[in-house]
Amino acid sequence: MSKAVQVANMMVNNPETTAADVAKKFKVTKPYAYALMSVARKQYINRRDEALAQPKQRLESAPALDMVNHPPHYTGGGIETIDFIEAKGLNYHLGNVVKYITRADHKGDRLENLRKARWYLDREVERASK
């Protein structure tokens, strides 16, 4: 069973579940736990409400996380990274700076993500200096 389904089950069976609870149980960072809960909440809201109406009902199977359209490492904080980049009209280099910074604590190696962000920022500074 995927983490997303387990988190959804946890939320269905205990509506008072917090991000700290999820982070501790699944050994993930608190921001990642928020992202998981956010995605689970959006994807499973109807099933959760049905289950809450019948407390003994469990959410046994649910669709997997949408890692293409709404991956949790880009959805934390209430706004998807791509939506922020587009709203601010950022170019390719600056968009990648934001992307790597926002996912640094949620996907892969934090330091590597920050170095990638700096690489794109350096290219943008060089381009703007010409």
pLDDT tens per residue, range 1-30: 567 677 777 776 776 778 888 888 888 887
DSSP 44: H
Domain boundaries, the chain: 1-67, 79-130
Could you give the CA distance from residue 97 to residue 57 in angstroms, rounded to a whole number? 44
Length of the chain: 130
pLDDT of 120 over the 60 cut: yes
C-alpha angle 32/38/40, rounded to 5°? 100
Residue labelled with tokens 């010409």: 130
**Residue pair 97/124 in contact by the 8 Å Cβ criterion:** yes
Torsions phi, psi of 16, nearest 5?
Answer: -85, 5
Q: What is the pLDDT of residues 78-115, one digit of tens each?
A: 778 888 899 999 999 999 999 999 988 888 899 999 99
